[in-house]
Amino acid sequence: MTLPELIQETRTAHWGWHEHRYFGQRVFEDLAGRETLTGLTVLSVLGRRLSSDENGVVNDAACTLTLADPRIWPLKLTRLIAAYGSTLPAAAAGLLSEQDARIGPWTTAKGAELLLAFDAAVGARIDDSELVRGTVKAYLDEHRFVWGFGTPFRGADERLVAFRACIRRRERGSLRFWRLMDAVSAVVRDVRGTEPNMGIAVAAAFLDLGLTPHQVGSLTSALMQHMFLAHAVEGSARGASLRELPATHVDFVGHAPRTSPRAGPSSGECTSQGAVAAPESHEFMENAG
Amino acid sequence: MSTAELDGPLEGSAHFPERLTARVVTPGERPSVHGYDVESDLARHYQPSDLLFLFLNGELPTPSVSRAFAVALIFLAPVSVAHASTHAAVVGRLCGAPASSTIGVAAIGAAEHARSLLDEHIDLIAWLRAPRVAFPERYRARDDGDRAAVQRLEQALTPTGLAVPALGERPSRDAALVIVLFAVGFKRRERLEAVIALARLPSAVAEALAERPTNFGNYPINLPRFTYTESA
């Protein structure tokens, strides 16, 4: 019996006899010796190549995004998994933690969505300061958290300062989304006293390259993998001391000791809730963190 | 240059605690879970499914909830290789990945599978929270097989004594399992996601470990057939 054939279309790649295809490019003829790792990364996310100068913006972003102190939480996560001695699971764990997270590269996708929303409201009237202020103020009135803003532990994001210098050198500071970012930032600064961070800047620069928000998040994530790899490599080679911290370094703040209903009379501070019935006794969970 | 010679925001005025905080398991040689001693109490009087319930909900289940939760876990557990989550774990094994990596792939697949399932049931969860409107039609059983599976679930639940009135809405098998988990106390999205993923992880791991590493010749490489196109 012949099974019905299942088909899925792909634009990514094909394995040929003497030449392979990658997003419409001949791998040996078009890419080898001509394209950079950055260019390949861009091609992987966008499905098309960018110009050399545009790839330069991507390189600038990758370099200025390099803040890899192991105390930074996603990188710490990588070090913790690396403590068991393997490299790639640690790098993969770091990558996994980035999807839709409140910090890290995916914030640029959220920042891009925010800028596109403001762009839809403001359009070409970006120099109309009253319009921009009213639009941003209305957003701030409804949203406590604003993607791409906030610079914990310092007054300004030094990465944005450096990236701005790169953008200026490439004469891209007058492009649509970079200008919009600056206009929006002025209002957020005035209303909230909050500075823009690298997330909104990368979002603006990549929107000016023609990326969608999802592409912005994916590309930024790819551009930051070198930091996770660095900690995965170093941590797997000499990080075993993290495997188990001494108990003296842990405070337990959970439930006091108690005895289960099946073991005998209850004790401890929550004895009356020693067992849970359903469904009426579960209201406590509705209010739980 | 070294840390002693360098300065930065984390060397400045920012204040952080010196210790980690444990909220569920006590650290050290005599572990307890949410206050219950593991070795002298839980291990002697409870089943693994009760421990999972305790871990995620903070309290032990009553006997009725315990039995109903165990039924739901068993109904949730089988995920065949037809599903992407288990399929991915098998492919990992085929690649000759070590068991730890295969288990990791299976865990990611199970978590994504659970997230996707709950994304599809978001309106059902909203209805369960406030069942003041009609049961959403899209979660009703679609065929006789679906209806028969839910009937078997109801039969398995009967001895537990747990009443789950929403099963009377003729839900699909997946919807029925979400309903039962909700009824036994899993009302928060993230905990539903956790319990579904954990229930399904063993079958993905088992299916993967049953495959022989590098058994590429027995793998249907053209399932599906990827057709390459360069058009936009």
**What pLDDT is recorded for position A267?**
46
Q: Does B187 touch chain A (CB under 8 A)?
A: yes
Does any CB of chain A come closer than 8 Å to the CB of residue B59? yes
Asked if B228's CB is within 8 angstroms of A276's CB, the reply is no
| Residues lower than pLDDT 50 in chain A | 267-274, 279-289
CB contact under 8 A, A273 and B229: no
Per the structure block, which two tokens stand in for A275? 């067992």
Q: What is the mean pLDDT of residues B173-178?
A: 98
pLDDT for the residue A284:
29
The pLDDT assigned to A279 comes to 42
Q: Name the residue facing A282 among B44, B185, B226 (closest C-beta).
A: B185
Take residue A230 and report the two structure tokens written for it: 């660095």
Residue of chain A whose alpha carbon sits nearest to that of B60: A275
Is A276's CB within 8 Å of B61's CB? yes
pLDDT on residue B201: 98
DSSP annotation string for A193-245: ---B-HHHHHHHHHHTTT--HHHHHHHHHHHTHHHHHHHHHHHHHH-GGGSS-
A285: nearest CB among B185, B226, B231:
B185
The enclosing H or E element of A25 equals strand A25-26
| Cβ atoms < 10 Å from Cβ of A65 | 22
Paired with A252 in beta bridges are B22
Q: Using CA atoms, how far apart are residues B119 and B126, in angstroms rounded to an integer?
A: 12
Mean pLDDT score of chain B, rounded to an integer? 96
Give the A window 9-38 contacts with B, CB below 8 Å.
Answer: 9-14, 21, 23-24
- Is the pLDDT confidence value at B211 over 90? yes
- Measured between CB atoms, which of A10, A245, A257 is closest to B35? A257
At B6, the pLDDT band (50, 70, 90 cuts) reads confident
pTM for this model (two decimals):
0.91
pLDDT single digits (tens) B95-140: 999 999 999 999 999 999 999 999 999 999 999 999 999 999 999 9
- Stretch 174-193 of chain A: residues touching chain B, C-beta under 8 Å: none
Q: What is residue A4's predicted lDDT score, i.e. its pLDDT? A: 85
Nearest CA in chain B to A249: B19
- Average pLDDT rounded to a whole number, residues B15-39: 95
The answer to whether the Cβ–Cβ distance between B62 and A92 falls below 8 Å is no
> Distance, in angstroms, between A14 CA and closest chain B CA?
6
Nearest to A262 among B23, B46, B184 (CB): B46
Nearest residue on chain A to B191, alpha-carbon basis: A285
- Residue A277: the pLDDT is 54
CB within 8 A of B203, min separation 6: which ones? B77, B78, B79, B80, B86
> In the prediction, which pLDDT does B11 show?
83
Interface residue B15 vs chain A (CB under 8 A): no
